[in-house]
Structure 1
Amino acid sequence: MAAKASLKIKGKGGKGSKESSSSKYEVFKDWTNWSLKKAKVATHYGFIPLIIILGMKSDPNTHLFQLLSPV
C-alpha cells in the first residue's frame, strides 16, 4: 500500500472558526516576515547605488570618479 501524507494543523484543536482565524493570522505573519526579509535585502544591496545615483544628479553635476575618489 502507498503511504499517504497527512497534514497537521498547528495549534490547539477545537472549533473550525478558531482554526481558520488562527491560520489567517499565521498566513499574515508569514507574509509579513517574508516581505520584511526581502525589504532588508533590497535595502542592504540598494543603499550605496542609491547614494551614488543621487550624488550624480545633485547640483553641481559630478562624475562617478569624483564621487568615488577620496579627495
Structure 2
Amino acid sequence: MASRVALKVGGKGKNSGKGGRGGEGKSRTECLKEWTDWSLHKAKVIAHYGFIPLIIVIGMNSDPKPQLYQLLSPV
C-alpha cells in the first residue's frame, strides 16, 4: 500500500487568490493596484498603533517636562 498525497487547487489557502508571488498574467495596473492596497493597509496599521505613542513622545519632549502619569491623566 502506497500512501497518496492530495494537493488542493484553488482553495482558501494563504497563497490562493491575490497576493501570491506568481506574477504571471498580471497587468501593470493590477500589480499597481495590489501594491497600493498593500501599502495603504500597512500605513493604516502604523497610524492606528503609532498615534498615541507619538503624542506621548512629543509631550515628553516639550519644554515644561511633565511626568508620564501627568500626560496620561485626563485632568
TM tier, shorter chain? 0.5 to 0.7
The yes-or-no answer on 1:30 pairing with 2:34 is yes
Aligned pairs, how many?
Answer: 52
Between the two proteins, what is the percent identity of the paired residues?
63
**CA shift digits 1:4-25 (9 cap, x unpaired):** x7xxxxxxxxxxxxxx7x7111
TM-score normalised over the length of structure 1:
0.66
From 21, 39, 55, give the equivalent of 1:51.
55
Q: Which has the larger radius of gyration?
A: 1
Aligned-pair RMSD on alpha carbons?
1.6
For 1:45 and 1:60, the matched residues in 2 are separated by 26
Higher helix share: 1
Moved over 2 A (4+): none
Distance 1:70 1:47 in 2: 17
Which runs of 5 or more structure 1 residues have no equivalent in the other structure? 6-19
5+ residue gaps, structure 2: 1-8, 10-24
Q: What's the CA shift for 1:67?
A: 0.3
